[in-house]
Amino acid sequence: EDQVTQSPEALRLQEGESSSLNCSYTVSGLRGLFWYRQDPGKGPEFLFTLYSAGEEKEKERLKATLTKKESFLHITAPKPEDSATYLCAVQANSGYSTLTFGKGTMLLVSP
């Protein structure tokens, strides 16, 4: 059974204080690992897809990396508008597989 564990559950940062969010996963063959951002009362918004160990992707202040067992979402010099819940999900490489999500990390960036 595919499993995704995210840590920490919640993280409070000062504006400009860089940090990383962790996503540990077990999957029977990885088709893709996804990061989403979710604002309160809204649906998840796609950020990145990572396919293989060693891959990195960047978007503004966010950088996602992938190993065989973990993914990290690095946030550099965050701003208050980066406050949201960040979700990690995996899709197995077997037929018509669906997404398995972690419970998310709630990030609060204070000015």
Partner 1 sequence: KAGVTQTPRYLIKTRGQQVTLSCSPISGHRSVSWYQQTPGQGLQFLFEYFSETQRNKGNFPGRFSGRQFSNSRSEMNVSTLELGDSALYLCASSLGGQGSLGYTFGSGTRLTVV
Site residues for partner 1 per CB under 8 A: 31-32, 34, 36, 41-46, 49, 87, 89, 91, 95-104
Query: Looking at beta carbons only, is 59 or 103 nearer to partner 1?
Result: 103
Which of 32/78 has CB closer to partner 1?
32
First to last CA, the chain: 41
Smallest separation (angstroms) from partner 1 to the CB of 93: 8
Q: What is the C-alpha to C-alpha distance for residues 3 and 7, in angstroms, rounded to an integer?
A: 14
Choice between 11 and 99, CB closer to partner 1: 99
Ramachandran assignment for 41, one of left (phi > 0), alpha (psi -120 to 50 degrees), beta (any other):
left
Measured on CA atoms in the order 55, 32, 85, 23, is the torsion positive or negative? Answer: negative
Shortest reach from residue 103's CB to partner 1, in Å: 4
